[in-house]
Amino acid sequence: MFQNLKMVSRVIFGRGSFDQLDALLAEKRRGSQSFMLFLVDDVFSNSQLRGRIPSKNHDLLLWVSVDDEPRTAYVDELTARVRAYSNRLPDVVVGIGGGSAMDIAKAVSLMLTNVGSSADYQGWDLIANPAVYHLGIPTLSGTGAEVSRTAILIGPDKKLGINSDHTVFDQIILDPDLISGAPADQRFYTGMDCYAHCVESLNGTYINAFAKSCAEKAMALCREVFLVQDSDTDEQLMMASFFGGMSIAYSQVGICHALSYGLSFVLGIHHGLGNCIALNSLEDYYPEGVREFRSMMEKQGIGLPKNPLTGINDAKLEKMIDVALVLEPLWENALGADWKSVMTRQKIRELYLRM
């Protein structure tokens, strides 16, 4: 059985296309009592972008904090605030921000129409009801969250996505101008999320011609952005993220992401940086990818924290291994059906301690 890939229904791409948001929402407004829900990264609360958000009348704008990676409790709290605000559903949930804001918007749009806690839905295809129409506007590129079928959350026990066809955005606006203001290190770490997607997809057992051609294009664009061009590369980076996301949507990530999830869960390390730390220790598995990743770091003048696991106690290390091991499809993709005989807890411990 081949996967039936749910694609994002509609895409607008172009510099300044953010300003089409108002017109898009106008088509969706269902009357005078209806409202839009904006979930916006609070880094923009004092920005020029704030004034461009077309919030009006009864619309609800919530600034979301992404200082920490998004947690299920936070998604539940935001969902409760929306329910307290109105007994009707918003016409559209609009997410504006990086991968965390995208995932929060996806998760809230799902939880508004599904009972219980978002933690109940961490896994694969557990969502029962379609989400509220949701629209994503990335302000960082690399995560692929704009096209993926997951909303990755840190829950009580694990970091794991709400993976479902209903998670996929109905509409995205890809405006390269929005990613131009990001700090260089954040831009790099997030871009390397995309690069890791390509390395893991292309070197995985789930690879197929669809995912391969997407990953190859994303990788070529990453090279343009991080190795070749010195001038404006926002458009290429945005397209790299799009294709990298499409690639893993039709294949899977691998060891780098599995280890990165453990780093995020236990140490609170953000996803992009976690991937960079993990990838940097995976020469045995992705030799060419690791070499090129280091060239990109060097060319961009970006560093990694030294010995991020220094002083970690054994209980935390064991928990990191637990979190990584939950991600069975990632290991199977990387190492094949027999991965459990290769990737023991001891082996994962060694990989973590190598960081």
Minimum distance between the CB of residue 88 and a second copy, rounded to whole angstroms?
26
Sign of the CA dihedral with 188 first, then 260, 312, and 346 last: negative
Cα–Cα distance, 268 to 306 (Å, whole number) = 16
Which strands sit side by side in the sheet containing 152-154, from one edge to the other?
123-124, 159-163, 152-154
Minimum distance between the CB of residue 311 and a second copy, rounded to whole angstroms?
44
Angle in degrees, CA 149, 132, 210, rounded to 5: 20
Minimum distance between the CB of residue 298 and a second copy, rounded to whole angstroms?
25
Q: Which is nearer to a second copy, 5 or 267 (CB)?
A: 5
Q: Which is nearer to a second copy, 148 or 260 (CB)?
A: 148
Cα–Cα distance, 159 to 256 (Å, whole number) = 14
Q: Which is nearer to a second copy, 250 or 265 (CB)?
A: 250
Q: Which is nearer to a second copy, 57 or 229 (CB)?
A: 229
Minimum distance between the CB of residue 321 and a second copy, rounded to whole angstroms?
34
Q: Which is nearer to a second copy, 149 or 158 (CB)?
A: 149
Cα–Cα distance, 242 to 142 (Å, whole number) = 8
Minimum distance between the CB of residue 213 and a second copy, rounded to whole angstroms?
4
Q: Which residues bind a second copy (CB under 8 A)?
A: 1-14, 17, 20, 24, 171, 174, 176, 208-210, 213, 216-217, 220-221, 235-236, 238-239, 242-243, 250
The Cβ of residue 320 has, within 10 Å, a number of other Cβ atoms equal to 23
The Cβ of residue 328 has, within 10 Å, a number of other Cβ atoms equal to 11
